[in-house]
């Protein structure tokens, strides 16, 4: 266990060395949030609420969605693809730790760093610039914390799955880009899922994506009641478990393929 | 000279046909996602500050065309890493052709122009729904505006790339500019006065999407801005080239 904690620490320190990137990153995300804020203000016009969300809740939703993204986002899919294509993964397999576990820990280290150096200051800045409104209800923030942790795992598992496909589809950069674009929309980052037409929402209930952004953001903007929040968290948890299986299956298939190729 | 570069380019590109298709389809998917966003949003409102859904879709379609031209010719997002840090600029400077022209030719990605087809298709779809009529002079003005928009886009990015000549700044400014350029996809009157000013005169991305598109949409109050598009394009591009030349002079002077 110690070695995994050490990985988190090392990744964290690496990011610390490049922290100026994160300050410009906050600026970039603020500009992004700004674009969506103006867009949503124009969309709301004089309306009090759309699908139960007021314009203030929507602004808060957008701000939180982007800042939370800094936590759950990672480049594991690209990194794994690169390591597999360069053949480095064969060396990694003989090391005394679980390769996938290591990747998750690296992602967690990055995520924790970005949470403190990016998301938190970012949210504070955005709070002063845009009309966002946070609740002072600690139970809501507690549920939010659990929710974003689970969304990190869902997103990371999806990244690992995509990374593993590099064993089977050698040049999957198109797949990686497509996945990111699809997730941006269907995770609830760009729009709350409740805005989609009914049939689309029904389909998305069977997909893990809404657990990545929609659930945590709705929890913290109090778009969900406490009961709904707990239900959402349960659904996220189920997906974390469910996604574990295809990862293990594909990974063992991939390792067999690697050995057969004499790697 | 240009045709020699072009034939080399085609030879290398055709070797990786599958890659081109994959790129094209993932670009198409990105455009589809953006359109889905617009469609879903307009499921909840009829007007966006006076612009209807089909008008917004039209503007989006228009925006894709100069963007595609920009992506095809001005692929300089990695200028700092590739040419300055790795020193490729030295190789370029030994040749008798203008450095910027060489870099543009080297980094050509003509397959990005396919994105323009998507844009034109979207425009026809929206234009059809809006019952827009096509006049004889429209294609000429369209090409003029597209070139103007692409020059604006290119000019701004060249100016940002030039920062590398003077400062050792990591160019994470590029993604920021890309995000700001996306503001130009929507009608500029949804933003407050300061942002409108910036998008019109400082980082004139409004001339890549909304101002020229407004002409075809028949929005008479924007006509002055529409016709200003090629002017702004040329002006910004010329300024960018002048700054570039200064930057190269400094680079040479530093004993490179």
Going by C-alpha positions, the residue among A92, A83, A101, A112 that lies closest to residue A12 is A112
- The minimal CB distance from B183 to the residues A21, A35, A177 is found for A35
**Per residue in A18-73, pLDDT tens?**
666 677 777 778 888 888 888 888 888 878 888 888 888 898 998 899 888 888 98
Q: Find out whether B181 and B202 touch, Cβ atoms under 8 Å.
A: no
Report chain A residues whose CB lies below 8 A from the CB of B176. Answer: 24, 27-28, 31
Q: Kindly state the helix (H) or strand (E) to which residue B133 belongs, with its residue range.
A: none
For residues B234 and B240, give the distance between their C-alpha atoms in angstroms, rounded to a whole number. Answer: 10
Q: Is B172 helix (H, G, I), strand (E, B) or coil?
A: coil
Strand partners, B64: none
**Per residue in A84-98, pLDDT tens?**
888 788 788 888 888
Query: How many other C-beta atoms lie within 10 A of the C-beta of residue B245?
Result: 14
Put simply, the answer to whether B180 touches A31 (Cβ < 8 Å) is yes
A178 vs B: CB within 8 A: yes
For residues A137 and A123, give the distance between their C-alpha atoms in angstroms, rounded to a whole number. Answer: 17
CA–CA distances in Å: residue B40 to residues A37, A66, A181, A232, B33:
17, 20, 16, 23, 10
pLDDT value at residue B241? 92
**Per residue in B89-148, pLDDT tens?**
888 888 888 888 888 888 888 878 888 998 999 999 998 888 888 888 888 999 999 999
Report chain B residues whose CB lies below 8 A from the CB of A50. Answer: 44-45
Q: Find out whether B233 and B205 touch, Cβ atoms under 8 Å.
A: no
ipTM of the complex: 0.80
**Per residue in B212-230, pLDDT tens?**
988 888 888 888 888 889 9
Residue B16 pLDDT exceeds 70:
no
Closest residue, chain B, to A49 (C-alpha):
B44
- The minimal CB distance from B190 to the residues A27, A42, A51 is found for A42
For residues B208 and B59, give the distance between their C-alpha atoms in angstroms, rounded to a whole number. Answer: 10
Residue B85 pLDDT exceeds 70:
yes
Q: Give the CB-side neighbour count of residue B242, counting CA atoms within 13 A.
A: 6
Going by C-alpha positions, the residue among A220, A65, A218 that lies closest to residue A136 is A220
Report chain B residues whose CB lies below 8 A from the CB of A21. Answer: 170, 172
Residue A176 pLDDT exceeds 70:
yes
Report chain B residues whose CB lies below 8 A from the CB of A32. Answer: 179
Q: Enumerate residues 6+ apart whose C-beta is below 8 A from B193.
A: none
Is there a domain that residue B8 lies in? no
Q: Find out whether A78 and A172 touch, Cβ atoms under 8 Å.
A: no
Is there a domain that residue B5 lies in? no
Burial class (CB in 10 A: 0-12, 13-18, 19+), B168: exposed
When pLDDT is cut at 50, 70 and 90, the band that residue B256 belongs to is: low
Is there a domain that residue B33 lies in? yes
Q: Kindly state the helix (H) or strand (E) to which residue B51 belongs, with its residue range.
A: strand B51-52
Put simply, the answer to whether A45 touches B49 (Cβ < 8 Å) is yes
A177 vs B: CB within 8 A: yes
Put simply, the answer to whether A195 touches B186 (Cβ < 8 Å) is no
Name the percent of chain A in helix, strand, coil, to the closest 5. Answer: 80, 0, 20
DSSP state of A167: G
- E strand intervals along chain A: 49-50, 53-54
DSSP state of A49: E
Q: Find out whether A132 and A83 touch, Cβ atoms under 8 Å.
A: no
Q: What is the dihedral of CA B162, B163, B169, B175, to 10 degrees?
A: -70
Largest CA distance in chain B: 61
pTM to 2 decimal places: 0.81
Assigned token pair, A158 = 């999806």
Assigned token pair, A18 = 């490049």
Largest CA distance in chain A: 66
Q: Find out whether A61 and A222 touch, Cβ atoms under 8 Å.
A: no
Strand partners, A53: A50
Range of B137's domain?
13-253
Q: Give the CB-side neighbour count of residue B44, counting CA atoms within 13 A.
A: 25
For residues B183 and B205, give the distance between their C-alpha atoms in angstroms, rounded to a whole number. Answer: 7
Phi and psi dihedrals of B47, rounded to 5? -135, 150
Q: Enumerate residues 6+ apart whose C-beta is below 8 A from B212.
A: B62, B145, B146, B148, B149, B226, B229
Average pLDDT, chain A: 86
Is there a domain that residue B174 lies in? yes
For residues B97 and B99, give the distance between their C-alpha atoms in angstroms, rounded to a whole number. Answer: 6
Closest residue, chain A, to B52 (C-alpha):
A43
For residues A128 and A117, give the distance between their C-alpha atoms in angstroms, rounded to a whole number. Answer: 17
For residues A149 and A105, give the distance between their C-alpha atoms in angstroms, rounded to a whole number. Answer: 13
CA–CA distances in Å: residue B142 to residues A95, B59, B149:
60, 13, 10
CA–CA distances in Å: residue B118 to residues B64, B108, B123:
7, 20, 9
For the ranges A180-184, B10-14, B28-32, B95-99, the lowest mean pLDDT is seen at: B10-14
For residues A59 and A65, give the distance between their C-alpha atoms in angstroms, rounded to a whole number. Answer: 10
Burial class (CB in 10 A: 0-12, 13-18, 19+), A2: exposed
How many domains are contained in chain B? 1
Residue linked to tokens 């939703």: A61
Put simply, the answer to whether B43 touches A184 (Cβ < 8 Å) is no
Is there a domain that residue B2 lies in? no
For residues B174 and B122, give the distance between their C-alpha atoms in angstroms, rounded to a whole number. Answer: 27
Q: What is the mean pLDDT of residues B164-178?
A: 68
Is there a domain that residue B150 lies in? yes
More confident residue, B254 or B102: B102
Distance in Å, alpha carbon of A1 to nearest chain B alpha carbon: 36
Distance in Å, alpha carbon of B135 to nearest chain A alpha carbon: 32
Is there a domain that residue B153 lies in? yes
Residue B178 pLDDT exceeds 80:
no
Q: Give the CB-side neighbour count of residue A13, counting CA atoms within 13 A.
A: 6
Assigned token pair, A107 = 């992602």
A35 vs B: CB within 8 A: yes
For the ranges A209-223, B20-34, B143-157, B214-228, the lowest mean pLDDT is seen at: B20-34
Report chain B residues whose CB lies below 8 A from the CB of A182. Answer: 29, 33
Is there a domain that residue B6 lies in? no
């Amino acid at each position: 266990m110690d070695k995994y904690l050490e990985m988190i620490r090392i990744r964290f320190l690496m990011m610390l060395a490049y922290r100026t990137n994160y300050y410009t990153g906050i600026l970039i995300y603020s500009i992004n949030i700004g674009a969506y804020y103006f867009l949503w203000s124009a969309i709301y016009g004089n309306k009090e609420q759309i699908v139960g969300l007021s314009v203030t809740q929507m602004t808060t939703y957008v701000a939180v969605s982007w800042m939370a993204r800094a936590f759950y986002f990672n480049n594991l899919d690209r990194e794994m693809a690169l390591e597999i294509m360069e053949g480095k993964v064969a060396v990694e397999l003989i090391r005394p730790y679980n390769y996938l576990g290591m990747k998750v820990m690296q992602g967690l280290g990055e995520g924790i760093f970005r949470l403190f150096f990016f998301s938190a200051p970012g949210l504070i800045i955005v709070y002063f610039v845009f009309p966002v409104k946070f609740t002072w209800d600690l139970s809501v923030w507690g549920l939010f914390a659990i929710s974003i942790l689970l969304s990190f795992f869902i997103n990371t598992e999806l990244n690992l799955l995509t990374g593993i496909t590099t064993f089977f589809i050698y040049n999957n950069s198109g797949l990686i880009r497509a996945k990111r674009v699809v997730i941006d929309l269907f995770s609830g980052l760009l729009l709350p899922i409740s805005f989609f037409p009914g049939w689309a929402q029904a389909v998305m209930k069977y997909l893990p994506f809404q657990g990545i952004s929609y659930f945590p953001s709705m929890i913290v903007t109090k778009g969900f009641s406490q009961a709904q929040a707990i239900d959402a968290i349960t659904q996220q948890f189920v997906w974390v478990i469910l996604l574990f299986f295809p990862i293990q299956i594909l990974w063992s298939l991939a390792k067999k393929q690697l050995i057969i190729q004499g790697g | 000279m240009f045709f020699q570069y072009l034939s080399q380019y085609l030879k290398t590109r055709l070797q990786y046909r599958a890659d081109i298709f994959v790129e094209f389809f993932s670009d198409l998917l990105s455009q589809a996602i953006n359109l889905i966003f617009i469609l879903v949003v307009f499921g909840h409102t009829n007007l966006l500050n006076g612009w209807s859904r089909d008008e917004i879709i039209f503007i989006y379609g228009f925006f894709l065309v100069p963007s595609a031209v920009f992506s095809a010719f001005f692929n300089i997002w990695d200028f700092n890493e590739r040419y300055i840090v790795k020193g490729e600029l030295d190789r370029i400077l030994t040749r008798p052709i203008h450095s910027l022209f060489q870099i543009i030719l080297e980094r050509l990605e003509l397959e990005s122009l396919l994105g323009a087809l998507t844009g034109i298709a979207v425009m026809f779809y929206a234009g059809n729904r809006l019952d827009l009529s096509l006049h004889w002079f429209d294609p000429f003005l369209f090409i003029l505006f597209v070139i103007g928009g692409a020059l604006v886009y290119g000019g701004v990015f060249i100016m940002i790339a030039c920062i590398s000549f003077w400062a050792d700044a990591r160019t994470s400014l590029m993604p920021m500019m890309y995000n700001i350029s996306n503001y130009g996809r929507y009608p500029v009157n949804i933003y407050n006065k300061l942002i409108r000013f910036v998008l019109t005169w400082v980082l004139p991305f409004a001339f890549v999407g909304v101002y020229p598109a407004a002409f075809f949409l028949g929005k008479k109050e924007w006509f002055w801005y529409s016709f200003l598009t090629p002017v702004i394009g040329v002006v910004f591009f010329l300024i960018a080239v002048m700054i570039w030349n200064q930057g190269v002079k400094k680079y040479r002077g530093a004993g490179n």
